[in-house]
A and B are shown apart, each in its own frame.
Chain A
């Protein structure tokens, strides 16, 4: 069951990444696309136990860092998504989260992850970008992520819940 869950999570990340770089640029607003990998990580953090979500956040971030067109310094998305997974896991309640709670968690995770990525960029002086540009990117990315939440999160959360060994027993 555990293997199956890792496999499902990995497949979800791969599909999310490919759709994010190949399909969404056609719909992008000023080049800003929804961060589907983040949505996968948040879905995992809201349904399965925290260590799994944290490692998945790190793995998804690392994939975002290394898969082609990416050319920034590797490890930046890994850092951002690990923190996002941690926050989402902290927000999680023992009861099934309400729709509003899910949307709120996605919004918070998106804000934190994109800002952290931008901040590491500023610290490392990777590409220089104006603060106004950064703010625009963070806010538009947040809107994108929240917009896609109703379509992406419910099926993913159902998938992770079904593959969760503890909860399946209940």
Chain B
């Protein structure tokens, strides 16, 4: 640059351009720092597994965003409900009536599935079977949906720990099984839908009582369905058979909730098991009112639909 020393104007212009460049150019050090921070977060979350160190942060952000999402959903609802305007008014009375109907329908479906009938013959008296579905339902509405970009099939519902909800509770609607509660804040809960590829539900074929595992296909399309793998490879599930949850005392899903109907059956020689495609009863692209199964008689901040259909 020494030879150009005399050309002041030119040099100034160059330094001016340099400054301009540096203002336009984002700092690489900051980029690297932020990328490393992201990777650290990913590592923390992956290695943490179920008890991730980010769980408290999730909860705090959830407490902050939950009310905002509920409010936004409530503001949007009148407009999305316009097509159904003449059928139903959007108020609590209707919501409760819907859920009462859903409860009754749910019980009817389970009876149709042949599950209760089989159980009755095999193990229990009528009272036990009734007690199986004897949990109460907390009504809630879907206020936010995860996007496909985020690749997880989760929704937020507007009932939380104040309504008596806790992790691993079963979520249903009037058609069948929706999913399970992942985590709760005071006023909202995050629900993992059964269509999520990570979701596995213990399933039972209604007529033969064979057990298997239902996994999500990762699609909102109802016909893409769920995957059922039977444990016993000798039994072949029948088409149009109903699949209900198998349920256990420790597992997250309550027993006897209808999941879907079998539409196709494949035999996989390599894995020595039967694979069937199950079409879920629930239309996941149009989720709105859902019920969360809580133990009968639990405390809640809202009206709870009891097993016998009464309101509390």
Interface of A with B (CB < 8 Å)?
14, 17-26, 28, 30-33, 35, 49-51, 53-55, 57-58, 61-79, 82-83, 85-86, 89-90, 92-94, 114, 117-118, 120-121, 124, 126-129, 133, 137, 141
Contacts and interface: CB of A to CB of B under 8 A. Distances in A.
Interface hub of A31, A69, A86, A89 (most chain B Cβ within 10 A): A69
B226 to A, nearest CB: 15
Contacts of B38: 58, 61, 75-76, 78-79, 82
Contact of B148 (A31, A50, A77, A128): A31
Contacts of B61: 63, 66-68
B241 interface: no
Contacts of B190: 68-69, 71
A28 B284 CA distance: 13
Given A14-B68, A127-B218, A129-B197, A69 B148 contact: no
B150 A83 contact: no
B42 interface: yes
Contacts of A55: 30, 34
A62 B35 contact: no
Contacts of A49: 23
Q: Is the interface of A mostly helix, strand, loop or mixed?
A: helix
A22 B260 CA distance: 27
A46 B145 CA distance: 30
A54 B26 contact: yes
A14 B69 CA distance: 10
A139 to B, nearest CB: 11
B194 to A, nearest CB: 14
Contacts of B196: 127
B152 A94 contact: no
B40 interface: yes
Given A58-B37, A78-B41, A19 B72 contact: yes
A124 B152 contact: no
Contacts of A69: 144-146, 152, 154-156, 190
Interface string B135-151: 00000000111111111
Contacts of A89: 24, 26
B31 A30 contact: no
27 contacts: A22-B73, A25-B147, A31-B145, A50-B27, A50-B30, A51-B26, A58-B37, A62-B41, A65-B41, A66-B62, A68-B65, A68-B144, A69-B152, A69-B190, A71-B146, A71-B154, A72-B151, A74-B41, A74-B58, A82-B35, A83-B35, A90-B26, A93-B24, A117-B149, A126-B151, A137-B148, A137-B149
B303 interface: no
Those 7 A-B pairs whose CB atoms lie nearest each other, nearest first: A75-B41, A50-B26, A79-B38, A21-B144, A25-B145, A75-B42, A22-B72
B197 A128 contact: yes
A73 to B, nearest CB: 5
Contacts, number: 192
B149 A22 contact: no
Nearest to A82: B34
Contacts of B220: 30-31
B250 interface: no
A127 B198 contact: yes
Nearest to A35: B149
Contact of A120 (B42, B73, B148, B154): B42
A122 to B, nearest CB: 10
Nearest to A20: B147
Given A22-B72, A31-B147, A50-B26, A68 B66 contact: yes
Contact of B54 (A53, A61, A66, A127): A66
Interface hub of B39, B44, B45 (most chain A Cβ within 10 A): B45
Interface in B1-43: 20, 23-27, 30-31, 34-35, 37-42
B109 interface: no
Nearest to A33: B147
Contacts of B192: 71
Contact of B58 (A66, A75, A90, A127): A66
Interface string B209-247: 000000000111100000000000000000000000000
B288 to A, nearest CB: 10
Contacts of B51: none
B54 A94 contact: no
A96 to B, nearest CB: 14
